[in-house]
Structure 1
């Protein structure tokens, strides 16, 4: 048990050190030696956790995206009769998952915006396409593409350009998507 806790603390220290370094340097210019120095761990400890700094980055990205993907599960089996409350809860769940990882996502968006944004949008698209297979009367594939891209763009806007609280972000996104639905009807 003690070893597991030590392992977890080392992993968190490596991730935090990496994020700190990403704020001032491009990933290509960060060395494993620097990550270890900032994290105050040995290179051996680094290699017990990760093969390369890119592996560290990919692991962090994967953890975040999996957590947010879980929030994209459909809440209703029949989208033709989905209530406003269910629609709102679906969006709220996605943004709550982003909020749970807000610090790391912000760091990744400010240091590697294209990489994170593309991975985030692809995950949303994939999760929503998969979720649409589980419901009656799924939305058109083009709607899923637009929706996923819009949510990804909104998250970028929210975290990088506003000081919205989670609740303000949820209200704003729900309002925007509600306006889009009125226009499309």
Structure 2
């Protein structure tokens, strides 16, 4: 079947949405292909044209959401001396926009998470932060900076997970809170990147 075919793409989207909906209702390990096909209104054979099993579908969803989130953590194209308030605001705006765009998938993945997905999220953020730091400074790969990046990644992953359980907090409010928290952290990171504090 042609993956660019409109019917194929529509079925693919139906399978994803049905799986996310079922994940919000029950433990992902208890979802069956039969349940999924009923919810997606497709035949079992149709499911197998898209995925070999439910784990492959879940892995595809996780991969897509982590890639999208990772893209929002790309460092600005500037040098260390020119990271200012406007740059930090754009950075936090990109994070919140990315989370908002992946909202349904993130909510489903975090709803019954045993900590595995949140760790994957923190790991992706850490990798992107370190990649950005390496582009900004020759002393990015220091023990101190790695600790700082790990703290930042875990904190932002925790912020995202908690925000998604707080429906009263709009994206605009979340963005302002993240900016307020994140600005001093970025300033600390910039100080660590300016020189190796252990030398």
Of residues 160-169 and 45-54 in structure 1, the stretch that sits farther from structure 2 once superposed is 160-169
Tell me, which stretches of 5 or more residues in structure 2 are unaligned?
Answer: 192-199
CA contact (8 A) 2:79 2:136 kept: yes
Tell me, which stretches of 5 or more residues in structure 1 are unaligned?
Answer: none
Aligned-partner Cα distance in 1 for 2:93–2:135: 20
The alpha-carbon distance between structure 1 residues 77 and 178, as it changes in their structure 2 partners (threshold 3 A), is closer
Matched, 1:60 2:65: no
The alpha-carbon distance between structure 1 residues 48 and 38, as it changes in their structure 2 partners (threshold 3 A), is same
Match of 1:153 among 158, 161, 168: 158
Q: Which runs of 4+ in 1 moved over 2 A?
A: 136-139, 177-185
Deviation per residue, 1:70-129 (Å, 9 max, x gap) = 111111432233111101111211111011011221121113352321111111111111
CA contact (8 A) 1:88 1:174 kept: yes
TM-score by length of 1: 0.90
SS of structure 2 residue aligned to 1:160: coil
Deviation per residue, 1:136-179 (Å, 9 max, x gap) = 35652221111111111110111113521111101001111235
Of residues 102-111 and 72-81 in structure 1, the stretch that sits farther from structure 2 once superposed is 72-81
Aligned ranges 1:73-152 → 2 under 5 Å: 73-112=74-113, 114-136=115-137, 140-152=145-157
Aligned-partner Cα distance in 2 for 1:128–1:183: 14
- Count residues in correspondence: 185
Question: What is the root-mean-square deviation in Å for CA atoms of aligned residues?
Answer: 2.3
The alpha-carbon distance between structure 1 residues 172 and 137, as it changes in their structure 2 partners (threshold 3 A), is farther
Q: Residue 41 of structure 1 aligns with which residue? A: 42
TM-score by length of 2: 0.84
Q: Residue 31 of structure 1 aligns with which residue? A: 32
CA contact (8 A) 1:92 1:170 kept: yes
